[in-house]
Structure 1
């Protein structure tokens, strides 16, 4: 029963074909990421700053053009847009592969490639995020999002390990070229999708002020603003985990490309497990966002303390589980709580924050690693993440009126909490407090059962904003 539930969104033909294409193509993407990092290290003499600069250039376009990309996604046919972006990524990969094979590649070539890839990602990432709800119904959306993450992480498990072996045998160049060819599988899958079975969102007509409209929508949703702050804070160091692993393997443990591939795969094994666990859940819960982010910070701190390569690799597994719990739950929360016509712009803001902080954090990670050592970058990342998540959790609990005892299992909440009546108050409490908590519980149940477009329309913007916040408060208690 559990197994069937875990893969329930694959019953939809279009999504099944799309997921298969991603499953075949994703290992190539991760093979390229390993090859890119290793090529930069070899060309720059192991420079953490050069590696951080490459990561920064790849994510910088999302920071500057992400909102524009989201508006474009809301305006165009998402399937055709994805075919264009996937083909462009394949051409770039083959081009850099040819340079590397000929021995003509220099660090600045990789910089240009990373920046070009980042520009395409401005359209590709929000496009893929917004295309999934067009293939599956809302009740299958959390499962489809989790399976997408699982597919991506499965590629992260197999890709780095294969890349490590191939780089040692034939060099980085052929690895880039293999990835370039792997994009063909996604393009073929997109061509095979039956457009008549899609549930396309009404396209946004071209006009002025659409980006500002999206910003006003997000600014009016306090729940979304708070979660964006959390995402950016965790990702400042978390987005550069691959860089930190490369520096630890190369500069601290002084091992080769194969060891780097194994370490990256260990993180991905944990992330894959975290994504599959998320696929078993019926809906996202805010508590899991906070638990996952806090646990990830603790795991970063512990990883920096590991004295040897094997111990370091072992810690990367739970780190991956916790990080993917945070990412998948946060992604589903955003996807399910926004107006469909705003989805491209909202998800572009989510990706802008989630990925756009990488260009800022990457040079910081590289600088800390070069000056104080790679362990210090992990210490700093873990400590900052823990502090920020703690502060935001307290602010969230105060805003929602949630007490610490409400976060404990019911049997451990104590007699005072147990004596509360179903409406949320104590026996005999028929005042505003009981009515307010009963309203919050009802709103949460209602939002969990109604389509996003129905829950977010029909009763005015003030009701929409209050309803989303009430849902978050109820999820914290649950």
Structure 2
């Protein structure tokens, strides 16, 4: 289950990212609490904040992916982590000085999105350079372990800091957490990286990446599934704070919900890490489970029951994310990896600017329960459409194979 940790470079990355991702989750909780409770914003304001944070990934993702293919990934990550420190410190200073208002939060959320447009595809592509193709499945699973262990630790620490120290210290601690990643990147042995030669410059390389991903069904299907699910069902930074108000709670209740979901997601991530070769059948199955779990969770009549239901929902969601990530990594050439993983970042993060305001608007008019339930229904429909598409592809491949056999006789 932990074979990737035998690699020194990945081991450094694993522990550095665990610290940094915990800080990121702290900031996620603190930022939502700042908008909703500190600045008395509305559900739509929260949706706009989320949209601005991930919107640049949608617009600039292809450019970021090309940069990842053309330049040293480790150096790019050193730059993005330094920029994220500056963004978190700016939030801390604004809150501590008492001058923070909504437009400032929106501006800094947008700045984070610009950084993410390069940082996310660089992170995803760098995994292969650290562990090589043999351990990619395990490394993808362990990356999700990092993400979801941090989802437990980060909100729990955020809850304590928000109550005892205040929002400014929460943002400041996130800024400090990025130092762990910088230290890990600097301590890596460059000679042990599985580096690929950079792609030379040329015209039409962004378009080439788009054609490559769309032309291969093994890439097209998981990307389209992720696009729909991320847009309509992954807006937890919008929906969970609203559920906290449904149960007459505040930042502490929101933190508890995020932690409960993270516990389930951690279990799902460990399951993926121990899986040898996740396939397309598993992808459809886990999408069905995730959709059903989302609908049931939306109807939870009490906070304890909702906390219990968020755990299996989190498990199903992370298995879905990890499976799409692995399938893309497996079927992508090294020369195209940055651009393909940029598309994955675009659909997994960049479509949030569309889904965030949609979820916020649905919650404002229909309530948080209906907004979450509609997302679950969309996931179920996605699973059904994917099953039909994969069946059609299988039939076409079968007919093509039969024709080839006849032609050789």
Q: TM-score, normalised by structure 1?
A: 0.82
Aligned partner of 1:158 in structure 2 is 153
Q: Map 1:58-77 to 2 at 5 A.
A: 58-77=53-72
What's the CA shift for 1:46? 4.6
Deviations 1:280-327 (A, max 9, x none): 011221112111211111111111111111111111000011011111
Q: 1:134 to 1:116 in 2, by over 3 A?
A: same
Aligned partner of 1:328 in structure 2 is 322
Larger of the two Rg values belongs to structure: 1
* Stretches (4+) displaced over 6 A: 432-435
1:25 aligns with 2:20: yes
Q: 1:188 to 1:391 in 2, by over 3 A?
A: same
Q: 1:169 to 1:398 in 2, by over 3 A?
A: same
| Among 243, 268, 274, the residue aligned to 2:262 | 268
- Tell me, yes or no, if the aligned pair for 2:68 and 2:118 is still in contact at 8 Å: yes
Q: 1:437 to 1:134 in 2, by over 3 A?
A: farther
Distance 1:277 1:438 in 2: 39
Aligned partner of 2:34 in structure 1 is 39
Determine helix, strand or coil for the equivalent of 1:281: coil
- Tell me, yes or no, if the aligned pair for 1:288 and 1:325 is still in contact at 8 Å: no
- Tell me, yes or no, if the aligned pair for 1:14 and 1:197 is still in contact at 8 Å: yes
Q: 1:393 to 1:433 in 2, by over 3 A?
A: closer
Q: 1:438 to 1:137 in 2, by over 3 A?
A: farther
Distance 1:261 1:437 in 2: 58
Gapped regions of structure 1 (runs ≥ 5) = 1-5, 403-431, 440-478
Aligned partner of 2:391 in structure 1 is 397
Deviations 1:191-235 (A, max 9, x none): 000001111111011222110111121122123222211111111
What's the CA shift for 1:433? 7.4
Q: Map 1:36-435 to 2 at 5 A.
A: 36-250=31-245, 252-401=246-395
Q: 1:46 to 1:310 in 2, by over 3 A?
A: farther
Q: 1:318 to 1:437 in 2, by over 3 A?
A: farther
Aligned partner of 1:405 in structure 2 is none
Distance 2:214 2:403 in 1: 25
Q: Map 1:460-475 to 2 at 5 A.
A: none
Aligned partner of 1:9 in structure 2 is 4
Determine helix, strand or coil for the equivalent of 1:173: helix
What's the CA shift for 1:140? 0.5
Distance 2:79 2:248 in 1: 41
Quick check: 361-370 or 290-299, which moved more? 290-299
